[in-house]
Amino acid sequence: MSNCIQNRYDFVLLFDVQDGNPNGDPDAGNLPRVDAETGKGLVTDVCLKRKVRNYVGLKHGEKPPYEIYVKEKAVLTNQQEKAYIALGLDPKGKDGKRKGGDDVDKARDWMCRNFFDIRTFGAVMGLKEANCGQVRGPVQITFARSVDPVVTLEHSITRMAVATEAEAEKQDGDNRTMGRKFTVPYGLYVAHGFVSASLAGQTGFSEGDLSLLWESLNNMFEHDRSAARGMMATRKLVVFKHESNMGNAPAHVLFDRVQAELKDGVTAPRSFADYDISVNSDNLPSGVTILEV
């Protein structure tokens, strides 16, 4: 695939939340995720990938080659059958099960060409019917971790409206529904990401896909507003570009060049202005350049 990316990239994503819940934990009553030992906030890689998928789907209307494989209420077998139908193949195979072979390879390639998130993040598509194998994606993202410990606040909320006539007949003051809402007053989070040129060649991840990824990371919170998430925004995206497809320096060495520190005198950060962000570009390893996109 001649238009696939030819360079390795590593990137640092800084985003923040104010008076919101960036990623609730369903196993903990939807409390914001927190590292129990350090008190630092967490946002999962799955959460960040979801926002990228949503942005791409919204921008391109989920039309090929920017369809989204993993989305709300998507039936994955139906998604994969699209490949077999387009290629004129039998999704069940001769024995009712599709275990492998040329048809699976063709279907996998078709899925990569038409679905952005498969081309980007990879997917396991080895279902009994319409088997499309599995793809290891060139783009991987870590959990995001807050720079400093965060405080989880619990708020009582009420609903004055009622759901039924029976509730409306209750005495005044007795028909209010009480609830709970959890927020983080403020948190600046840092996530790290990796883009492999070698794996891009297997999925067809192109320069255009890469530009769309950067655009998505910069704008994904702009179209993900909700009362629960408060104010969220991407604050900085620092990209390290390697000359070679295998890379010119270890990722962790490059990541250490991006630092976020509290300004003097600030003990309880409540805005991005409370931090100093620095990107050390001195004496970069040979073959590495910094892009702030």
The one-letter code for the residue type at 78 is: N
Statement to judge: residues 81 and 216 lie in one domain: no
Q: Which two tokens stand for residue 110?
A: 């078709």
Statement to judge: residues 102 and 243 lie in one domain: no
* Helix axes of 45-60 and 207-219: crossing angle, nearest 10 degrees: 110
Label residue 164 by pLDDT band (50, 70, 90).
Answer: confident
Select from 136, 237, 137 the least CA-distant residue to 192.
237
Report the domain count for the chain: 2
Query: What is the rounded average pLDDT of the residues 191-208?
Result: 97
Question: In this structure, how many other beta carbons lie within 10 angstroms of the beta carbon of residue 241?
Answer: 16
Q: Which two tokens stand for residue 168?
A: 């409306």
For 237, the 3-state DSSP assignment is strand
Helix (H) or strand (E) holding 180: strand 177-195
Taking all residues of the chain, what is their mean pLDDT, rounded to a whole number? 92
Spatial separation of the C-alpha atoms in residues 156 and 137, rounded to whole Å: 42
Please, which residues have CB within 8 angstroms of residue 136's CB and are 6 or more apart in sequence?
122, 199, 202
Instruction: Map tokens 């059958």 to a residue.
Output: 81
Spatial separation of the C-alpha atoms in residues 129 and 110, rounded to whole Å: 16
Statement to judge: residues 17 and 89 lie in one domain: no
Statement to judge: residues 98 and 189 lie in one domain: no
Model's pTM, two decimal places? 0.91
Statement to judge: residues 215 and 108 lie in one domain: no
- Encode pLDDT of 22-61 as tens digits: 999 999 989 999 999 999 999 999 999 999 999 999 999 9
Q: Which domain holds residue 35?
A: 1-44+143-293
- Encode pLDDT of 221-255 as tens digits: 999 999 889 899 999 999 999 999 999 999 999 99
Domain boundary among 105, 136, 167: 136
DSSP-derived secondary structure letter, 267: S
Instruction: Map tokens 């139908």 to a residue.
Output: 85
Domain boundary among 82, 106, 136: 136
DSSP assignment of 82-146 equals: HHHHHHT--SS-TTS----SHHHHHHHHHHHHHBHHHHHHEEEE--SSS--EEEE-SEEEPPEEE
Domain boundary among 110, 136, 162: 136
Residue 226 half-sphere exposure toward CB, CA atoms < 13 A: 11
Statement to judge: residues 17 and 159 lie in one domain: yes
